[in-house]
Amino acid sequence: MVKINDNFLKLPGGYLFPEISRRVKAFSAENPPKPLIRLGIGDVTQPLCPAVIDAMHKATDEMSNKETFRGYMDDSSGYEFLRNTISEHDYKARSVNIGPDEIFVSDGAKSDCGNIGDIFSVDNVVAVCDPVYPVYVDTNAMAGRAGTVGADGIWSNLIYLPCTEANGFFPALPKKVPDIIYICSPNNPTGATATKEQLKVWVDYANAHGAIILFDSAYESFITDSSLPHSIYEVPGAETCAIEFRSFSKTAGFTGTRCAYTVIPSALVRGGVQLKSLWIRRQNTKYNGAPYVIQRAAEAVYSPEGQKQTKATIAYYLNNAKVILDGFSKAGITAYGGVNAPYIWAKTPGGIPSWGFFDLLLKKACVVTTPGAGFGPAGEGYIRVTAFGDAEATKDAVKRIIEVL
Amino acid sequence: MVKINDNFLKLPGGYLFPEISRRVKAFSAENPPKPLIRLGIGDVTQPLCPAVIDAMHKATDEMSNKETFRGYMDDSSGYEFLRNTISEHDYKARSVNIGPDEIFVSDGAKSDCGNIGDIFSVDNVVAVCDPVYPVYVDTNAMAGRAGTVGADGIWSNLIYLPCTEANGFFPALPKKVPDIIYICSPNNPTGATATKEQLKVWVDYANAHGAIILFDSAYESFITDSSLPHSIYEVPGAETCAIEFRSFSKTAGFTGTRCAYTVIPSALVRGGVQLKSLWIRRQNTKYNGAPYVIQRAAEAVYSPEGQKQTKATIAYYLNNAKVILDGFSKAGITAYGGVNAPYIWAKTPGGIPSWGFFDLLLKKACVVTTPGAGFGPAGEGYIRVTAFGDAEATKDAVKRIIEVL
């Protein structure tokens, strides 16, 4: 008799966004008084930029011709044209020495953040920030690293690193030493962005203990403060303790186009083994790489036109963030983030629970947000609002919220 | 100190195709007397058909427009337009009752065959055919289900099901009962294709023991004998014991375009849980779905033009298979497959080891094949030749092989 992976059964309820989707669908069925404005799930709304579209058309035409057709890649890690471009633009241009052989292209940071667990033993102790992107927790729970979950949503074997108003939403070192540490900056959901000095504390700590930092910088393109690091490898010593995840989803609107990459430096060795060699083996055995046309689309993000066009869209979203922050300020709501990040982390008024405030905004303002409690116990008392909406719709949403409050 | 997954260190050498690639590169560097002809890795050579190209252009244009742009899918299982189309054409048209809610779209059958292991306990006993597609073995070895590997390539905890000339390359039931059974038909690498009666034996056996069959039918579009099943669900009872993997890679030349799907019937329940619910949870947590443009490309395969065009390409490849089979016959080499499958499984002459015959054909005929031993111990004494080459090149390769022998 086949045995299922019982760890799956420990996962409480649905994944956060399907649960939101369920509530929104149920409310929509009740004929809401106004059209819904969605500032919940972190999905982009602006189309792919012309440079990317042109590259996709060109690559599609190549696939129609026997001479230029592309089948399997030699290995699943991505075409050299893309890995070289990423190395030059995202690293060497910032004086970070990450080569193309340390860059591994994929279909998404979510896939990579989940699949990276394959190369680590189930016995490692994992630390996550609280609040946290649910994927870090759920994937470890599935693998058996999280233990069991209590009614309070706390997993028995995880180390939680509270990120609160008091510590500026950046975690302090824990008492118990973890083996694997997830850090996301600019942060999802709080919008807080770590300084080099803040990251240095964790890099030194990880190196001292042989731990690994899994650094998610999917939102680095939203950083406006030039003193803040875009990559953890801007911090000396990170190359011997950190794996970095990047994505084109938010940088260039690829949420439905799917391309990302993971960086594992050659110097990152544990148990006498280069971790990148394990990842290459994992990917070559369980993955066949991102589509050729999509990798050409990603390459086009780095062209002069692509850079200009994608940066204009990011400025558009950051202006939404400003509109939201200003609106919350007028409504007397304390809010964080939104300056170097596309997320605004807003305190619920009068200590309303976050799912309650979510329901209130949904039903009274017809605005969809994300309840902070969905990101972990310390997310209670907050909602996450995203800047990825349409500019006019965002302005309307803010007006409605001010009216309701 | 972080601990790596030691199971990775048990894997011997490289994955088969990178090893072939290494030998071919080394030989190429020696200035071979003739241009190489590649009949090794099972990669297609013909371009995407016009119907698919048109659909990709159209979908790309949709991504350039705010009104028609697509971001995240509601869930990662694929767009309804594609799941409905697959259900209608690949199942209902063959009187098999598989609905869109039992079909899960992905980036590749290799990914799905590997990732499906996540939903099963590490404690299950796995049976694989011998010879076998290496992904089934390596992914289980990584997960810790295979035990340790001997110098003979045999893993201590796997059940091997020999597929030999004597049993027509279809496995007999084993003495020890497995929990998970991999069956691939049309078979990679032997080209053998199972009858309904042959599959029925395994379906009844799996249902009797609560085992699961992982059925890989990536090559079903090459079946020419109308009495042979394209899906395991053509066999009564399979819906309570089998998961099926399908791919557009060989059906429509998507090896560099990446789209596939997995079928998990609603009736497939173990431990009181629908297995599809575990897969949905796995995919929604660790995957964000195939790109929109790629799913539109896959949909176009089923249009009247797409069907006509892709079937013409399959006929082209099957003609190559005939050329290879005829050539081997002239050269006095016994060969199997190639009639309902794109693979020819040829016995090495005079009992030469398969890597030796691979090297001989590489160095004397400048033809790349795949050594049978790379697919498992019972593959020794065979090579796999693929029909995916260019027609002229395939004819040349056959001529060269005849000359060398």
Range of the domain at A144: 52-303
Residue B166 forms part of a structural domain: yes
The reply to whether A372 and A268 lie within a common domain is no
Q: How many CA atoms lie within 13 A of A339 on its CB side?
A: 10
The reply to whether A297 and A309 lie within a common domain is no
Average pLDDT over residues A94-123: 98
Distance of CA B234 to the CA centre of its chain: 19
Contact across the interface for A288 and B179, Cβ inside 8 Å:
no
For the cut 90, the answer to whether the pLDDT of residue A385 exceeds it is yes
Residue A151 forms part of a structural domain: yes
For the cut 70, the answer to whether the pLDDT of residue B14 exceeds it is no
The reply to whether A207 and A101 lie within a common domain is yes
The reply to whether B185 and B156 lie within a common domain is yes
Residue B199 forms part of a structural domain: yes
Q: Which residues of B touch A71 (CB under 8 A)?
A: 43-45, 253, 255-256
The CA distance from B191 to B337, in Å, is 4
For the cut 70, the answer to whether the pLDDT of residue B15 exceeds it is no
The reply to whether A210 and A290 lie within a common domain is yes
For the cut 80, the answer to whether the pLDDT of residue B239 exceeds it is yes
For the cut 90, the answer to whether the pLDDT of residue A207 exceeds it is yes
pLDDT of residue A238: 98
Contact across the interface for B256 and A1, Cβ inside 8 Å:
no
Burial letters A152-167, b for 16+ CB under 10 A, else e: ebebeebbbbbbeeee
pLDDT tens column, B123-164: 999 999 999 999 999 999 999 999 999 888 899 999 999 999
Domain boundary among A259, A276, A303: A303
Best of A285, A292, A317 to substitute, by most chain B Cβ atoms within 10 angstroms, is A285
Provide the number of structural domains found in chain B.
Answer: 2
The CA distance from B20 to A236, in Å, is 39
Contact across the interface for B69 and A48, Cβ inside 8 Å:
yes
The reply to whether A355 and A365 lie within a common domain is yes
Q: How confident is the model at residue A14 (pLDDT cuts 50, 70, 90)?
A: low
pLDDT of residue A19: 81
The number of residues making up chain A comes to 405
Q: Which of A342, A323, A345, A321 is nearest to A334 (CA)?
A: A345
For the cut 90, the answer to whether the pLDDT of residue A198 exceeds it is yes
Of the candidates A5, A47, A71, which has its C-beta nearest B43's C-beta?
A71
The CA distance from B301 to B50, in Å, is 10
pLDDT of residue A15: 63
The reply to whether A221 and A297 lie within a common domain is yes
The reply to whether B218 and B266 lie within a common domain is yes
CATH number at residue B192: 3.40.640.10
Q: How far is B248 from chain A (nearest CA, A)?
A: 12
For the cut 80, the answer to whether the pLDDT of residue B233 exceeds it is yes
pLDDT of residue A355: 95
Q: Which residues of A touch B13 (CB under 8 A)?
A: none
Q: Which residues of A touch B209 (CB under 8 A)?
A: 1
The reply to whether A273 and A290 lie within a common domain is yes
The reply to whether A19 and A134 lie within a common domain is no
Domain boundary among B249, B278, B303: B303
Contact across the interface for A142 and B253, Cβ inside 8 Å:
no
Lowest-confidence segment of A31-40, A88-97, B249-258 by average pLDDT:
A31-40
Residue B6 forms part of a structural domain: no
Q: What region, left, alpha or beta, does residue A31 occupy, with left being phi > 0 and alpha being psi -120 to 50 degrees?
A: left
Average pLDDT over residues A357-363: 96
Contact across the interface for A286 and B121, Cβ inside 8 Å:
no
| Single-letter amino acid code for the residue at A9 | L
Residue A7 forms part of a structural domain: no
pLDDT of residue A189: 97
Residue in chain A closest to B3 (alpha carbons) equals A121
Q: Which residues of A touch B75 (CB under 8 A)?
A: 18
The reply to whether B294 and B315 lie within a common domain is no
Residue B4 forms part of a structural domain: no
Residue A107 makes CB contacts below 8 A (sequence gap 6+) with: A258, A259, A260, A290, A294, B107, B287, B288, B290, B291
pLDDT tens column, B315-358: 999 999 999 999 999 999 999 999 999 999 999 999 999 999 99
DSSP annotation of B158: P
pLDDT of residue B75: 81
CATH number at residue A384: 3.90.1150.10
Average pLDDT of chain A to the nearest whole number: 96
B109 has binding-site annotation: yes
Helix (H) or strand (E) holding A399: helix A391-404
Q: How far is A22 from chain B (nearest CA, A)?
A: 10
The CA distance from A106 to A79, in Å, is 11
Average pLDDT over residues B368-392: 95
Residue A6 forms part of a structural domain: no
Average pLDDT over residues A60-67: 98
For the cut 80, the answer to whether the pLDDT of residue A13 exceeds it is no
Q: Which residues of A touch B64 (CB under 8 A)?
A: 47-48, 50, 53
The reply to whether B58 and B144 lie within a common domain is yes
Contact across the interface for A288 and B120, Cβ inside 8 Å:
no
What ipTM, to 2 d.p.? 0.96
Domain boundary among A267, A284, A303: A303
pLDDT of residue A151: 82
Q: Which of A61, A59, A63, A298 is nearest to B254 (CA)?
A: A63
Q: How far apart are the first and last CA of chain A?
A: 57
Higher pLDDT, B13 or B202: B202
